[in-house]
Amino acid sequence: MKTRGYQWATDVTYTARVPIYFVNCMQLSQDIVILGGGIAGLWLLHRLRAAGFAAVLIEKSALGDGQTIASQGMIHGGLKYALGGTLTGASEAIAGMPAHWQRCLHGEGDVDLRGTRLLSDTYYLWPRSSVRSRMTAFLGSKLVSSKARAVADADVPDFFRGHLNGPLYRLHDIVLDVPSLLHTLGEGCRPWIYRADCRLEHDANGNVSALVLPDGRRLSAGLFICTSGNGNAVWLDTLQPIAATMQQRPLQMVVVKHRMTAPIYVHCVADNFSATPELTITSHPCRDGSTAWYLGGELAERGATMQPAELIDATRRKLAAMFPWCDFTNAHFHSFFINRADARQSDGKRPDRDSVVSQGNVLYCWPTKLTLAPALAQSVISAIAARGLQPAGDNSVTIDGLPYPGVAETVWDTL
């Protein structure tokens, strides 16, 4: 039937009569839609678009908000996972990652990261003073392909100069400024990255029929990929039981803001044969001119069960004992909780590798570590190939009317 020159059609969702020209402008289509603008989603977007897919990324807040911006920026080769004296799946899977990232930083890898700020091209492993912790570090250095090397006296970094009573090992690991990394990845695919809080339409079999954008437009795709870390729970809660697919591993991270000038990037090895360093420290310049020490390792894991004041008090004591030459009198201590989200493991521990879980036309993805984002992208590319999905749409098409998300702020720049 025609009315006023328009042909009418029935919208299958709302069973309302709307003009066909209006239906067409309300229906959007892409080969692939990525949900989540952290390191996993951004890296994958670059790979998919390079492969010719019409792919877009949708983030509901800011790029990196959540796990990515809360990471320490370490691109490591797995030595800290071999500190227990044995090779693990994690240490083997991660061994080649620093070299992979270095190629990308020079514009020679699968994703161009030129322009990303490098905070340090060296990371250190410090067994402190006990015989047992030195043995732990030594065993780890001998088990990983990117072996650690003892630092000569002349090459000791300024922070430790004159204060070491034992060996210090140099790792072939690097530390990136995470906001800079997110900016580089975002700008590289800016026309296809959007901020929107969408509603999910799905069928009884767990397939997603469309995302409904804030203005009512429906975005369909051959494949939807969830890379939003802890945010994957929103989709999982709708499409299948969360408990069957995802686990959360809580941390309480500590930030120490101070005015000391010598940066430090170090794993402090505990006396027990643990696969996690007692303390992991990275240094980050703040907008106000101060420096932030960002503390992870066992301190953050054990801190997950502590009250903030209790953890901060324990951190003060630990730093005073480890670094008696440093004055923390005027330092500002702050802690915050963050959940690491992974594919569920039977023992609840950290997965050895990146994870991709398939259900219908949805892939749920977790890189496990910032370092493994390239490996996750390759796993997804392989999963797509196994499905026989080929580029079908015009990959130059953009979605009008949606803003660019911008990059999330680090905790230390909000204090």
Q: Rounded mean pLDDT of 21-47?
A: 87
The dihedrals phi and psi of 209, each to the nearest 5 degrees, come to: -85, -35
For the chain, the structural domain boundaries read 2-67+181-245+346-413, 77-176+247-343
Four-way CATH pick for 77-176+247-343: 3.30.9, 3.30.160, 2.40.160, 3.40.50:
3.30.9
Q: Is the pLDDT of residue 43 over 90?
A: yes
Cα atoms in the Cβ-side hemisphere of radius 13 Å centred on 126: 22
Q: What is the mean pLDDT of residues 270-293?
A: 86
pLDDT of 139 strictly over 50: no
- Whether the CB-CB separation of 281 and 266 falls below 8 Å is answered with yes
- pLDDT exceeds cutoff 50 at 20: no
At 157-176, the pLDDT tens digits run: 999 999 998 889 898 899 99
Pairing relation of β-strands 55-59 and 193-195?
parallel
Query: Got the DSSP string for 99-151?
Result: HHHHHHHTT-SSS--TTPPEEES-EEEE-TT-HHHHHHHHHHHHHSSS--EEP
Residue 342 contacts residue 355 (beta carbons within 8 Å):
yes
Question: What would the pLDDT profile of 183-215 be if each residue is shown by its tens digit?
Answer: 999 999 999 999 999 998 988 877 899 999 999
Pairwise CA distance, residues 414 & 265, whole Å = 22
* Distance of alpha carbon 303 from alpha carbon 291, whole angstroms: 22
- Containing H/E element for 293? strand 291-296
**Digit-coded pLDDT (tens) for 377-406:** 999 999 999 999 999 989 999 999 999 999
CATH superfamily label, 2-67+181-245+346-413: FAD/NAD(P)-binding domain (3.50.50.60)
Distances (CA, A) of 211 to 32, 198, 234: 12, 6, 13
Report helix angle 373-387 to 39-50, nearest 10: 50
